[in-house]
Structure 1
Amino acid sequence: MAKSRNNLLGVGGQRKKLSRAEQQGAGSARGADRKAAEDKKQELVRKMRERAEAQAATTAEPAADQDGPAQS
């Protein structure tokens, strides 16, 4: 189907809607929100890794204890 030359709606991409504060030169809160979300994610990942390491350490210790009494 041939492209209509009279209807140029959507040609040239889309622009982000600027808030009133952004129009006046103030920074957007979007960047701060993204930073806060990234910080929360990093903290969650750190906690999950610590828990996984602690769980791996506790599961490794009983295996060592089982070998000790069996030799006696």
Structure 2
Amino acid sequence: MAKSRNNLLGVGGQRKKLSRAEQQGAGSARGADRKAAEDKKQELVRKMRERAEAQAATTAEPGEQGTPSAQS
């Protein structure tokens, strides 16, 4: 069936259904899951930066050792 353009029911968005625990103020597990995912992402970014810095330091060392006049 074709979608009716004259029916504006629900145009403003819909509220999500609250669980019984959320209604009583216990909060959702979604917030904790998001926090855990953000922590994992931050840890991964930190590790990647450390590896990149170590890689840059490793590639920069031979060039610095080969030119003693550059340090004078």
> TM-score band, normalised by the shorter chain?
0.7 to 0.9
Question: How far apart, CA to CA, are the structure 1 residues paired with 2:54 and 2:33?
Answer: 32
Q: Name stretches of at least 5 consecutive residues in structure 1 with no aligned partner.
A: none
- The C-alpha deviation readout for 1:48-67, integer Å capped at 9, x for no partner, is 11000000000001122334
Cα root mean square deviation, aligned = 4.2
Which contiguous aligned blocks of 4+ residues in structure 1 show a shift greater than 6 angstroms? 1-6, 69-72
CA shift, 1:71, in A, is 13
SS of aligned partner of 1:57: helix
Question: How far apart, CA to CA, are the structure 2 residues paired with 1:14 and 1:26?
Answer: 22
Aligned residue pairs total 72
Q: Name stretches of at least 5 consecutive residues in structure 2 with no aligned partner.
A: none
Question: How far apart, CA to CA, are the structure 2 residues paired with 1:64 and 1:4?
Answer: 72
With the length of structure 1 as denominator, give the TM-score of the two structures.
Answer: 0.73
SS of aligned partner of 2:67: helix
Identity %: 90
